[in-house]
Amino acid sequence: METASPAGKRAATRDTILDHAYAMARNDGLEGLSIGTLATGVGMSKSGVFAHFGSREELQLAVLDLGARRFMANVLLPALKQPRGLPRLRAIVAHWFAWARKHQSGCVLLSATSEYDGRDGALHDAVVAQQAGWRGELQKAIAQAVDEGHLRADTDTAQLAFEIYALLLGLHHDGGLFGYDAAQRHTAAAFERLWRSWQP
Amino acid sequence: METASPAGKRAATRDTILDHAYAMARNDGLEGLSIGTLATGVGMSKSGVFAHFGSREELQLAVLDLGARRFMANVLLPALKQPRGLPRLRAIVAHWFAWARKHQSGCVLLSATSEYDGRDGALHDAVVAQQAGWRGELQKAIAQAVDEGHLRADTDTAQLAFEIYALLLGLHHDGGLFGYDAAQRHTAAAFERLWRSWQP
DNA sequence: TTAAGGAACGAACGATCGTGCTATTTTGCG
DNA sequence: CGCAAAATAGCACGATCGTTCGTTCCTTAA
């Protein structure tokens, strides 16, 4: 048998553990993850959970990776069905809004940036790589919108990507603290101004 | 003697402890604060540090409060020397930029919002109160700029305050992850567009 | 039927956590 | 100087942390 069967028992329970770990990390962050509490949550022993990852750091990296894959699957992937250019870009933002609504009580990727942006180590590197990757996807979608003539030809893709990201940070922030509805209104209004100011 | 002499020994060492605690919380967050590590940092015993606060939560609240006071002293207060209206508003943003540069490796107030936005308890309430207070100050400065005729008369103060805050979130985020310089350029460019779009 | 291998458990490790208590030291006042 | 009061240290507690190790259980193949 090769290195991994398509869906062996090991992989299945590992997925179960990661699912619980992700839910916990949404509230307590990756630094708040404890193997004991996680084991209780999934109904396993501490050592049983531990054996699947080998170290707490590996567990945290796996949860971070799961978060990144879920984000991509929920925000980027469905938007790819839209035609290239502004429609796809707006679809990304729309799905990102939905993601923020579902993650009002905390987003693993965002809390991870707060937790690891000033440290060294594998988690820091993983967070930076993940954020840089997503920013790159954003810039790619923006560049396509420029190519299609949906945005001004002199658009600075990094600049616009930054502003889009900042608005979503605002949505997450205000949504978590003051309630999603008001935050959603402010963010949507800001986006209308944003698209208008970059239209050709 | 009354409840507190102007600068007794107790208050002095308490300030020393809080200063170290603030520095530590910048890297590890308020949840990462441990009394033992803090005691080692200030060269005291665990119980000696503990006696000043009575509980870990009280310590965290004190650090959060110190952060808020330092933020106000560094960002709002110096801006009050500028004349009401847009000059003062831009001064607030300028000092906020400097604050973000000094706090690239982590801002206690920001990480606190990530850590407590999805929980209950005194820390959550303190974070919400602090953020709401600051947002209120922003809105007040914006309203004055409207009164002075420096911004459009139909300006939605809550909306503009949200957008300003979102841009600073972006500055903190990108500054910590990708380096301050590029983040500062993007944020400054976004602000120029922002002021222009709200000018009368 | 039995041997083999993987998965999970249970117990224990040293370390550290927050938090009490009781001494001991330091301080300020008469 | 001497004495009360305040400030700090020392010690111990139960709990939990991540991690290791040996054992048990279950599945699968010969």
Contacting residues of A for B119, CB less than 8 Å apart? 27
Which among B28, B119, B169 has CB closest to A27? B119
DSSP state of A83: P
Which among A131, A173, A183 has CB closest to B113? A173
**Exposed e or buried b per residue across B38-54, where buried means at least 16 C-beta atoms within 10 angstroms of its C-beta:** bbeebebeeeebbebbe
Which among B117, B156, B182 has CB closest to A177? B117
Question: Is residue A5 pLDDT above 50, yes or no?
Answer: no
Q: Residue A4: its pLDDT value, please?
A: 35
Q: What phi and psi, each to the nearest 5 degrees, are found at residue B64?
A: -60, -45
DSSP state of A6: T
Q: Residue B28: its pLDDT value, please?
A: 97
Confidence at A7, pLDDT banded by 50, 70, 90:
low
**What is the full DSSP assignment across B60-103?**
HHHHHHHHHHHHIIIIIHHHTTSPTTHHHHHHHHHHHHHHHHHT
Q: Is the CB of A49 under 7 A from strand C?
A: yes
Instruction: Count how many Cα atoms sit within 13 Å of the Cα of residue B146 in the half-sphere of its side chain.
Output: 16
Nearest residue to nucleotide D16, by CA–C1' distance, is: A36
B7-B13-B19 Cα angle (round to 5):
105
Q: From CA A20, how far away is CA A33, in angstroms rounded?
A: 10
Report, in angstroms and rounded to the nearest whole number, the Rg of chain B calculated over CA atoms.
19
Q: From CA B182, how far away is CA A63, in angstroms rounded?
A: 29
The Cα-based distances of B56 to B34, B136, B172 in angstroms read 8, 29, 27
Find the mean pLDDT for residues A142-148: 98
Q: What is the spatial distance, in angstroms and rounded to an integer, between the CA atom of A30 and the C1' atom of D13? A: 30
* pLDDT tens-digit readout, A75-109: 999 999 999 999 999 999 999 999 999 999 899 99
Q: Is the CB of A26 under 7 A from strand C?
A: no
Chain D bases near protein CB atoms (7 A cut-off): 6-12, 16-22
Find the mean pLDDT for residues A44-71: 98
Q: Residue B5: its pLDDT value, please?
A: 39
Nearest to B162, CA basis, from B124, B199, B134, B196 = B134
Q: From CA B67, how far away is CA B75, in angstroms rounded?
A: 12
* AA identity, residue A71: F
Q: Is the CB of A70 under 7 A from strand C?
A: no
Q: What is the spatial distance, in angstroms and rounded to an integer, between the CA atom of B2 and the C1' atom of C8? A: 63
Find the mean pLDDT for residues A165-179: 98
Stretches in chain B below the pLDDT threshold 70: 1-7
- Name the one residue in this structure whose structure tokens are 């603030």: B22
CB spacing of B190 vs A127 below 8 angstroms: no
**A26 CA to chain B: closest CA distance, Å?**
8
Q: What is the spatial distance, in angstroms and rounded to an integer, between the CA atom of B145 and the C1' atom of D17? A: 53
Contacting residues of B for A106, CB less than 8 Å apart? 114, 117-118
Under 8 Å between Cβ of A28 and B29: no
Q: Residue B56: its pLDDT value, please?
A: 98
Question: Is residue A175 pLDDT above 90, yes or no?
Answer: yes
Q: Residue A10: its pLDDT value, please?
A: 86
For CA atoms A171, A177, A178, A180, give the dihedral sign.
positive
Q: What is the spatial distance, in angstroms and rounded to an integer, between the CA atom of A144 and the C1' atom of D11? A: 68
Rounded to two decimals, the pTM is 0.95
Q: From CA A138, how far away is CA A163, in angstroms rounded?
A: 11
Task: Kindly state the greatest CA–CA separation across chain B.
Answer: 60
**B15 CA to chain A: closest CA distance, Å?**
24
Let me know if A153 is exposed, middle or buried by CB neighbors in 10 A (0-12, 13-18, 19+): exposed
Instruction: Count how many Cα atoms sit within 13 Å of the Cα of residue B81 in the half-sphere of its side chain.
Output: 6
Nearest residue to nucleotide C16, by CA–C1' distance, is: B36
CB spacing of A174 vs B162 below 8 angstroms: yes
Q: Is the CB of A121 under 7 A from strand C?
A: no
Q: Residue A3: its pLDDT value, please?
A: 32
Under 8 Å between Cβ of B162 and A182: no
* pLDDT tens-digit readout, A16-28: 999 999 999 999 9
SS3 track for A169-184: HHHHHHHHHHCHHHHH
Q: From CA A160, how far away is CA A178, in angstroms rounded?
A: 26
Chain C bases near protein CB atoms (7 A cut-off): 6-12, 16-22, 27-28
Q: Residue B11: its pLDDT value, please?
A: 87
**A186 CA to chain B: closest CA distance, Å?**
6
* pLDDT tens-digit readout, A99-135: 999 999 899 999 999 999 989 999 999 999 999 999 9
Q: Residue B7: its pLDDT value, please?
A: 61
Q: What is the spatial distance, in angstroms and rounded to an integer, between the CA atom of B59 and the C1' atom of C14? A: 28
